[in-house]
Structure 1
Amino acid sequence: MSQDQHVYYRERQPLTWLLSILIIVAIILGAIGYYDRLLGQFVLYLLYILLPITIIALLFYKLEIKITDKMAVASFGIGLIKRSISINELLPDKAEIINTPWIWGVGYRFTTKGVLLNASFNHALYVPTSSSSFFVGTRFPEKLLEKIKEAKLALHQ
């Protein structure tokens, strides 16, 4: 993002429970691997089990939602998994606040409404475009919608 862009909204949602589970699993598997050193299998435990756990943790440790004067961006972890849509394409007047059912889960989810980026089981904001949507789980859906409208209004002035 260039320095001249104005940030209207930023929300970070850590996936603390995911990190906790991954750390516990890594410790257990590391301990098992350490005590089962037959023929150098400890290194195999590290490579085949702990490395994928580390990669998953880096990819999904947080969900960040950012609204700038040009883009609406939702990204997981270090930013490799993200969804970006131009503010100009969003149709905030047709937006919906949705209570996400627990069965939809968390992460990068394919739902009947489209792709949902979600880090919790509470609310999501669905903002359609002419061809797709910006669909993100958020703790503050009303505030997020307000900031999208504000950014879109500023873009057209």
Structure 2
Amino acid sequence: MKADIKKKEFDQAEEKLADLMFFGLDYGIENLHADSAGTLIPIVVTEKEGERDLKRFVTERMEEGLKKGEQFLMNEKEARYGIVIYDGYLTVDGNKVDAVLVKGFDRQDEVGYIIGQRYSRKKDNTELEVIGNPAFIGNEEQMLK
């Protein structure tokens, strides 16, 4: 996050954006449950007039997929809302923990928001466990301009 981004709390986000972002967390966790390899391909969901459109960004490296998804969102000119869903990490008490992260944007807001949901996967099987509650991570530079 850049230092010049205005700081806003998550409860200041438009309710429809918050709903879309929580959908993104749920969808990301569902995808991880379904993939025993533990892979979450970066996903962009846009919403215009109540209609949602979902796109996956499959690349050789997940980081490239995330960048392509963000570039797609920055070039999107019609949607009111947009989110980027991806697999990442959160650091909690000095420990790095797997997390589904969602960056969310409302074209009529000056900032974006980031939320995350921690999870763990047992090494000996495919069982995935959600840890704690979703958390507000911070603000992000607006991508829907």
TM-score, normalised with respect to structure 2: 0.26
Higher helix share: 1
* Greater RCO (Cα-Cα under 8 Å, separation 6 or more): 2
Which structure shows the bigger proportion of residues in strand conformation? 2
